[in-house]
Each structure stands twice: as C-alpha cells, then as structure tokens.
Amino acid sequence: MSFFFGSRSSKTFKPKKNIPEGSQHYDLMKHAAATLGSGNLRLAVMLPEGEDLNEWVAVNIVDFFNQINMLYGTITEFCTEDSCPIMSAGPKYEYHWADGLTVKKPIKCSAPKYIDYLMTWVQDQLDDETLFPSKIGVPFPKNFLSIAKTILKRLFRVYAHTYHQHFSEVVQLGEEAHLNTSFKHFIFFVQEFDLIDRKELAPLQELIDKLTSKESR
C-alpha cells in the first residue's frame, strides 16, 4: 500500500503548533515573518539580538516542515510507486530509510513511502515536548542542535527529490517561484548556523551556488 499526503490522518499532517500570542515562540515567528517580508533572506535567517539559538532553530524547523509539507502535497499525484519506485535525487543519489528505532537497518523504498516515513518521523519529533518544549522556561535538551541537524538533513531530501524528479510538474503548476524562495530560505538558514554537512547538499550544489551567488554574504 502506498501512502499519500492527501489520504493522511489529520493528526499526522496538522500544521505544527498553533503558537499562543504573547509567547516567545509567537514573537520570534512574528520577527521571522517581518524580516522575510523585507526580501533580504540573509538578514531574515540571522539570530535576532538577545534570542536563544535553540529557540530560533526550533521555530524555523517548524516553519520549514510546514512549507515542505505544503509544497510536496501539491505534487503527490505525480510522485507515485510507479513513477518514483526509489527515493532518489537524480541518478547519482539514492536514499534508504532508517529512523534508528522502528527501522534500524536502512530499507530501500519508493519515494512516496520514504517521504511518508520521513514526514511522520519529523512530526513525531516536533510533538515530543522533551525535544521541542512549547512551554516558556522549559529547557531544550543539551543535544538539541544535533537533533535539529538530523531533521534538517532529512527535510533537505524532500527538496532534492522534488527538484530532480518533479521540477517539470512544479513548473506546470506555476509554483517554481514559491519552491525556489522556500529552498533559498532553507539554504541560507542552514548555512548561517552550519546545520547540514556540505556532502549532504551535493545533489543540489549547483542550484545552491546559483541561488546564493546573487546575494551578498
């Protein structure tokens, strides 16, 4: 059986955490939205003065998860067991799924199944209050940035698959500007805080160089 975003339970695909007004999360999200609106993505990803790095990374991960969720959701009819029997990012890169808990030995699976596993896994991380505390004053775990790096590395793979295998459909839908802006924001963010190893970015390195070369560092 294949899994598609449209058929998921509302639990798995609810947008993550409605943030109550007046909370630190809410203020950070407002700051992020305001700086993004300025059009300067390098500026938008920088840690706001006086803010906690873990908090800033957490807020942005939630945002990227929701963006990728929506972007991929528009192309699920094109990403099927038949069209994408392996999870790949072009002919040189193939991903096998393992989460270290329920799937310890990496398994080969179709792209829609892999992305289903991946997004469900990320959702579970975001819902875990010990990893992503929603209450003010509750500390993040000491290894939070390590957890964040794993999440972002995996989310990158959805962008990589989308660009390599489905970009023509994205263009047909008129969504390439949305995808490019989302990915550019994601790349500037992970570059700013050194959150993804360069070798992991290799499937889209040419695109990354093109998108980032136009902006001053």
166 annotated binding-site participant: yes
Instruction: Map residue 59 onto helix, strand or coil.
Output: helix
Instruction: Map residue 4 onto helix, strand or coil.
Output: coil
109 annotated binding-site participant: no
| Whole-angstrom distance, CA of residue 127 vs CA of residue 200 | 26
- Inter-CA distances, 210 with 6, 82, 123, 129, 147, Å: 33, 32, 31, 38, 29
Residue type, 173: L
Contact 116, 3 (CB under 8 A): yes
What long-range pairs does 193-202 form, CB within 8 A, spacing at least 24? 193/47, 193/53, 193/57, 195/57, 195/145, 195/148, 195/149, 195/152, 196/149, 196/152, 196/153, 196/156, 197/153, 200/153, 200/156, 201/156, 202/93
- Give Dmax (Cα) for the chain: 50
Contact 93, 160 (CB under 8 A): yes
Q: Which residues contribute to the annotated binding site for Zn(2+)?
A: 79, 84, 161, 166
Residues annotated within a binding site:
79, 84, 161, 166
